A = this chain, B = another copy of it.
Amino acid sequence: MSLQKPLAIALASLTLLFTSRVQADGLKPEEMIKYRKAAYNFMAWNMGKIKGSLEGNFNKDAVANAAGAIAAVANSGMGALYAPGTDQNIGNEKTRLKSEFFKEPEKVREIAMNFNKQANELVKVAASGDAGAVQTQFAKLGDACKACHERYRAK
């Protein structure tokens, strides 16, 4: 048996998962694009705060707060905002999501779970207040973001 069958099953399961979530949330595809971009932009602002703190005067509380905000995004179930078809601009909502995203569910899951893991780890590290440890973990989180951007986000 080739690998195609398990992949097809995984894809079908994922599609089902997405579809049921779409129905549960009652979101239109354009709303999904809007909300996921909002989530990433809210996260980007908080990434910027940590970057600024690492490059300037390290502010433990500000870093811990920003790490918490990033983790809130990572833990918010963003998979529900990626229904099939949302790799196209819809109405006024533009997306750079590549179609490959829907063809590699296992890879997407792996990348998403690593992002989640690194974001939650940053919360723990930030609580320690150790600037060096934050710098290291922040870089790991950045790599996790980049892994998805490089594979699934158009230039």
- Closest partner residue, chain B, to A81 (CB atom): B45
Is the beta-carbon distance between A76 and B46 smaller than 8 angstroms?
Answer: yes
Instruction: For A69, list chain B residues within 8 Å (CB).
Output: 72-73, 75-76
Which residues of A21-66 are within 8 A (CB) of B? 24-27, 31, 34-35, 37-42, 44-46, 48-49, 52, 56, 62, 65-66
- Closest partner residue, chain B, to A45 (CB atom): B35
Instruction: For A49, list chain B residues within 8 Å (CB).
Output: 25
Residues of A that sit less than 8 Å from B by CB: 24-27, 31, 34-35, 37-42, 44-46, 48-49, 52, 56, 62, 65-66, 68-69, 72-73, 75-77, 81
CB distance from A45 to the nearest CB of B (A): 4
Instruction: For A27, list chain B residues within 8 Å (CB).
Output: 48
Indicate whether A77 sits within 8 Å of B65 (C-beta atoms), given known contacts A39-B45, A41-B34. yes
Instruction: For A44, list chain B residues within 8 Å (CB).
Output: 35, 38
- Closest partner residue, chain B, to A34 (CB atom): B41
- Closest partner residue, chain B, to A38 (CB atom): B41
Instruction: For A41, list chain B residues within 8 Å (CB).
Output: 34-35, 38
Instruction: For A48, list chain B residues within 8 Å (CB).
Output: 25-27
Is the beta-carbon distance between A72 and B77 smaller than 8 angstroms?
Answer: no
Q: Which 6 A-B pairs have the closest CB atoms?
A: A38-B41, A72-B72, A35-B45, A38-B38, A42-B42, A38-B42
Indicate whether A42 sits within 8 Å of B45 (C-beta atoms), given known contacts A56-B24, A68-B72, A77-B65. no
Instruction: For A66, list chain B residues within 8 Å (CB).
Output: 76
